[in-house]
Amino acid sequence: MIRLIPFLLLLETADASRNWADLVDSSELQPLDPNANNYLLRFDPFERANDTEEDDENVEMEPPAVAADNDDISSPAPSDSNTGNPLTLPPLDDTPVLWQPPELPILNFTNNNDPYPEKPLPAVPMPWYFNYDSTSNFGPGEIGLFSKEGLFDINVHNNHWGQVELAPLSYWEEFTANGWGPYQGVLDNHDPTNRNLCETGSLQSPIDVRENGGGVCKETHQIHTHAGDFGIRSDHVRHEIHPNKLRLLYDRRPCADFVNDAACAEPDPPFADFPNGWGGYSDVLHVDFKVPGEHRIWNEQFDAEMQIFHIHYGRRRLPTQAVLIRARDDGHNAYLEEVLTLFEYEYDMNQAKCARRLREQRRLQSQIHSLLGNKTPDDSHFDSSADFSTLLDLPEFEKEQNQRRLQNSVWDPHHPMLVPSIYFYRYDGSLTEPPCGEFVSWFVCDTPMIISFEQLERMKKILFTNVDENCRLTSIHHDESVARPIRPIGERPVWRCTEEHYGPS
């Protein structure tokens, strides 16, 4: 009696890179009709009658650059592998039975009933996994008033980020003694790849920003900024969708001291001159967008936040501008729109890869049923053309249209439509995600950026519903948030710089 083994071997030979345990449930195997044997020997499940080599080349898309920090590469759930159901064949039976192929799984894409579904916890979380659910064993905890030995204290409860390890070759590896590039070793004194301060640190961020009696403005001029010469669509700027942020990642210049060494001058990313003795310029490393805002100003929470991370070679710190974002009905921000469209393009590309996987599954299922003479099953649940198949249908057309929409012009993260005030609150703090290193000098703009509600919703859609090529959600948001809850200010001085503190510039 012919079994399914030749068919599985044929599939494995056709493409060894695919996980066929995702496509066939071995626990439901039944004997095949002997007449199917000749067809199986000639059957190519990925032969496409209407496809050409040129079409295949168009569909294969280069995956977007992926930064290593905090990406969720956790072990898959048991249902994603075949270890729970080892391959076994049913007992012999003299009566031929036509094999009924099981329904292929519906991959994990957006549920229309929940616009922002939450990604389930991985079955076996990796040591570097974390999320934003403060009630879980992987969350950041929340600030509260707690009693200790008869005294009340403001502290953080249920903080589990202190146990998070950094993934191998994390983003911060670049800045250690074993790193690379012009800023190798700049942060080595902070040991960002081995020291996790999320639980034990005393200078944690974000905070509820408000000036206190411990600080007086020390800055005598505004932050002087330069746009650099990197085109927004050039290879020097990568636009990445991370599990907990949208990121613009800038290439580094050839060497760090571009003031005294002409060889370091070009090409240059955006950079800034920070006041109060920083001395020299600080290059932009990356720009992050978080939803909702992480910092507060006098306990006011905002819809989102933009964080512009710079690095200073001499001070070995990250001077960082934070701009809170408020959405309004009439608040369309044309300058933000340029980069928001870039992120949407990356999102569409990821959805297209997912759609191709769904089509591939549907095609395989249909061919199996057709081969075995079965009635074609209902596959209405594979709605692969509903939201994200355009790039697959006409990928070159879509790319051409996108290039027309987006000119390769310089996009300045310090533009007045993004940073609407030259005045700021100032305090020393930390990264707002593991390892929570305390080497960030925060400059929090005292006036929020204004965007529209429509732009805010698009930002949330990109961040919360992005999928990988296997149609798995990538976001680790909880309750539509990838914002770390505020931390205690403690005894840190916080001051505000306004017009009265600036001299002639």
What is the residue-level pLDDT of the chain in tens, covering all 505 positions? 444 433 333 333 344 333 333 333 333 333 434 443 333 333 333 333 344 344 444 444 444 443 444 444 443 333 333 333 333 333 444 444 333 434 333 344 444 578 899 999 999 999 999 999 999 999 999 887 655 565 555 678 889 999 999 888 899 999 999 999 999 999 999 999 999 999 999 999 999 999 987 778 989 899 999 999 998 888 999 999 999 999 999 999 998 887 778 888 888 899 999 998 888 899 999 999 999 999 999 999 999 999 999 999 999 999 999 999 999 999 999 999 999 999 999 999 999 999 888 888 888 877 777 777 665 555 444 444 444 444 444 445 455 555 555 556 899 999 999 999 999 999 999 999 999 999 999 999 999 999 999 999 999 999 999 999 889 999 999 999 999 999 999 999 999 999 988 876 5
Q: What is the largest CA-CA distance in the chain?
A: 97
Cα–Cα distance list, 204 to 156, 216, 320, 485, 497 (Å): 11, 20, 14, 11, 21
Only one residue has tokens 């992120």, namely 343
Answer for the pair 173, 128: CB distance below 8 angstroms, yes or no: no
Burial class of 504 by CB neighbour count within 10 A (0 to 12, 13 to 18, 19+): exposed
* Structure-token pair, residue 89: 């064949």
> pLDDT value at position 139?
96
The candidate with the shortest Cα–Cα distance to 122, out of 137, 143, 100, is: 137
Separation between Cα atoms, residue 333 and residue 449, nearest integer Å:
9
**Is cis: bond before 206, omega within 30 of 0?**
yes
Within 10 angstroms of residue 156's Cβ, the number of other Cβ atoms is: 21
Residue 308 bridge partners (DSSP): 287, 321
* Structure-token pair, residue 258: 């571009």
**Is cis: bond before 435, omega within 30 of 0?**
yes
The candidate with the shortest Cα–Cα distance to 450, out of 420, 423, 413, 424, is: 420
**Is cis: bond before 292, omega within 30 of 0?**
yes
The candidate with the shortest Cα–Cα distance to 130, out of 203, 176, 198, is: 198
Contacts of 498 (CB under 8 A, 6+ apart): 217, 423, 446
> pLDDT value at position 185?
95
Q: Name the strand (E) or helix (H) holding 338.
A: helix 334-371
Q: Which domains does the chain have, with CATH numbers?
A: 1-500 (3.10.200.10)
Separation between Cα atoms, residue 162 and residue 80, nearest integer Å:
29
> pLDDT value at position 295?
98
Conformation bin of residue 98: beta by default, left when phi > 0, alpha when psi is -120 to 50: beta
Separation between Cα atoms, residue 365 and residue 363, nearest integer Å:
5
Residue 428 bridge partners (DSSP): 441
Residue 410 bridge partners (DSSP): 231
> pLDDT value at position 405?
52
Residues, the chain: 505
HSE, CB side, 13 Å, CA atoms: give it for residue 401.
Answer: 9
Angle between helices 395-405 and 334-371 in degrees, nearest 10: 180
Give me the sign of the Cα torsion angle 241, 247, 251, 255.
negative
Separation between Cα atoms, residue 462 and residue 458, nearest integer Å:
6
The candidate with the shortest Cα–Cα distance to 382, out of 366, 368, 367, is: 366
The candidate with the shortest Cα–Cα distance to 141, out of 389, 495, 493, 488, is: 488
> pLDDT value at position 200?
94
> pLDDT value at position 365?
76
